[in-house]
Amino acid sequence: MLNINSLILASDAGVWYAFANSDGMGKAIVFLLFLSSMVAWFIMIEKGLALYRSQKLSERFAFDFDQKHSMHAMLKESTDNPCPVAKVYISGMQQLLDFNGMTIDQAKDQPAIRNQSSMCKLSPAQLDAVQTSMEREISGQIFVIEERIGMLATAVSLAPFLGLFGTVWGVMIAFCGVASAGSANIQALAPGVAGALLTTVAGLLVAIPSLVGYNFLTQMIRKITVSMDNFSESFMARLKLEQLVAKDPVPQSVQSRPVNTPPPRPAASIPANRPLNQAQDRPGAYSSQSHYPVNSNSSTMRSSYSNSGSSAYNYSGQSPTDAPRQMSFGDMQGSMSDPDNSMRN
Q: Quick: pLDDT tens for 235-284.
A: 999 888 888 776 665 544 444 445 555 555 655 555 555 554 544 444 44
The predicted-structure confidence for 153-210, as pLDDT tens digits, reads as follows: 999 999 999 999 999 998 888 888 777 777 777 777 888 888 889 999 999 999 999 9
Mean pLDDT of 123-128: 89
pLDDT the model gives residue 273: 54
Mean pLDDT of 25-52: 94
Whether residue 103 contacts residue 109, with contact meaning beta carbons closer than 8 Å, is answered with no
The DSSP letter of residue 247 is B
pLDDT the model gives residue 247: 62
Q: Between residues 327 and 238, which one has the greater pLDDT?
A: 238
pLDDT the model gives residue 119: 64
Cα distance between residue 159 and residue 210, in whole Å: 10
pLDDT the model gives residue 291: 44
Q: Between residues 142 and 263, which one has the greater pLDDT?
A: 142
pLDDT the model gives residue 60: 93
* CA angle, 247 then 66 then 95, to 5°: 50
**What band does 317 get if pLDDT is binned at 50, 70 and 90?**
very low
The predicted-structure confidence for 73-121, as pLDDT tens digits, reads as follows: 788 778 888 899 999 999 998 898 888 778 877 777 666 555 554 467 8
Which of 8-17, 23-32, 229-238 bottoms out in mean pLDDT, i.e. has the lowest? 8-17
Cα distance between residue 243 and residue 248, in whole Å: 10
pLDDT the model gives residue 295: 47
SS (H, E, C) 181-208: HCCCCHHHHHHHHHHHHHHHHHHHHHHH
